[in-house]
């Protein structure tokens, strides 16, 4: 059975497609690409149908990641098919938990940086959209730092299912 993870930021053109691309690469390198499905969306639909921000694409490509992406808005009905919904900041976390139709669905929502053991008390990945390239590079660093911990958690869930 496929384990489904969806990353969520505001418009689905900066942080969440970056996290999707990085995590998909981690999943593939771990040999789990047939078992884990990785996706992303935004809490809002402002950029629906657009590609990722050109700065996101540039940072991903410089890091050796693929960047094929089309923005879309997260739908409450998706909770039923998702195993884990990863929010990029506390505002997204709250918005997604409000959308959740049950306590079980709300429990599926987690902050990305909660999987980074070196993260400080601020678990938000800052929105780089209105800034410069450095913000996108910092975002990538945060995503990369949290991905191994997230992968370990997903692998643990897959092992529990197999048991």
Q: Which of 33, 44, 50, 127 is catalytic?
A: 127
In three-state form (DSSP H/G/I as H, E/B as E, the rest C), the secondary structure along the chain is CCEEEEEEECCCCCHHHHHHHHHHHHHHHCCCCCCEEEEEEECCCCCCCCCCCHHHHHHHHHCCCCCCCCCCECCHHHHHCCCEEEECCHHHHHHHHHHCCCHHHHHCEEEHHHHCCCCCCCCCCCCCCCCCHHHHHHHHHHHHHHHHHHHHHHHHHHHHHHC
Q: Please confirm, yes or no, whether 68 is among the known catalytic residues.
A: no
Angle between helices 15-29 and 133-162 (to 10 degrees): 50
Does the pLDDT of residue 22 top 90, yes or no?
A: yes
Q: Which of 6, 9, 14, 139 is catalytic?
A: 9
Q: In what order do the strands lie in the sheet with 36-42?
A: 36-42, 3-9, 84-87, 109-111
Per residue in 33-77, pLDDT (tens digit) is: 999 999 999 999 889 999 999 999 999 999 999 989 999 999 999
The pLDDT value given to residue 112: 98
The pLDDT value given to residue 150: 98
Q: Which of 14, 15, 83, 124 is catalytic?
A: 15
Per residue in 115-154, pLDDT (tens digit) is: 999 999 999 999 999 999 999 999 999 999 999 999 999 9
Report the predicted TM-score, pTM, of the whole model to 2 decimal places: 0.97
The pLDDT value given to residue 1: 83
Q: Please confirm, yes or no, whether 15 is among the known catalytic residues.
A: yes
CATH, domain 3-162, list 3.40.50.970, 3.40.50.10470, 3.65.10.10, 3.40.50.2300: 3.40.50.2300
Burial track 32-48 (b if 16+ CB lie within 10 A, e otherwise): beebbbbbbbbbeeebe
Domain ranges of the chain: 3-162
Does the pLDDT of residue 24 top 90, yes or no?
A: yes
Q: Please confirm, yes or no, whether 83 is among the known catalytic residues.
A: no
């Amino acid at each position: 059975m496929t384990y489904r993870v969806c990353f969520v930021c505001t418009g689905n053109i900066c942080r969440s497609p970056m996290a999707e691309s990085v995590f998909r690469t981690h999943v593939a390198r771990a040999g789990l690409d047939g078992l884990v499905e990785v996706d992303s969306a935004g809490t809002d639909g402002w950029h629906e149908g657009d590609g990722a921000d050109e700065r996101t694409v540039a940072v991903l490509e410089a890091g050796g990641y693929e960047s094929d992406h089309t923005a879309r808005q997260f739908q409450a009905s998706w909770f039923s098919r998702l195993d884990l919904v990863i929010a990029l900041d506390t505002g997204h976390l709250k918005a997604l938990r409000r959308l959740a139709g049950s306590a079980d669905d709300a429990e599926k929502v987690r902050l990305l940086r909660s999987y980074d053991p070196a993260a400080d008390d601020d678990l938000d990945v800052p929105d780089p959209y209105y800034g410069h390239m450095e913000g996108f590079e910092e975002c990538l660093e945060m995503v990369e730092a949290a991905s191994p911990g997230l992968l370990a958690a997903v692998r643990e869930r897959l092992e529990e299912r197999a048991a």
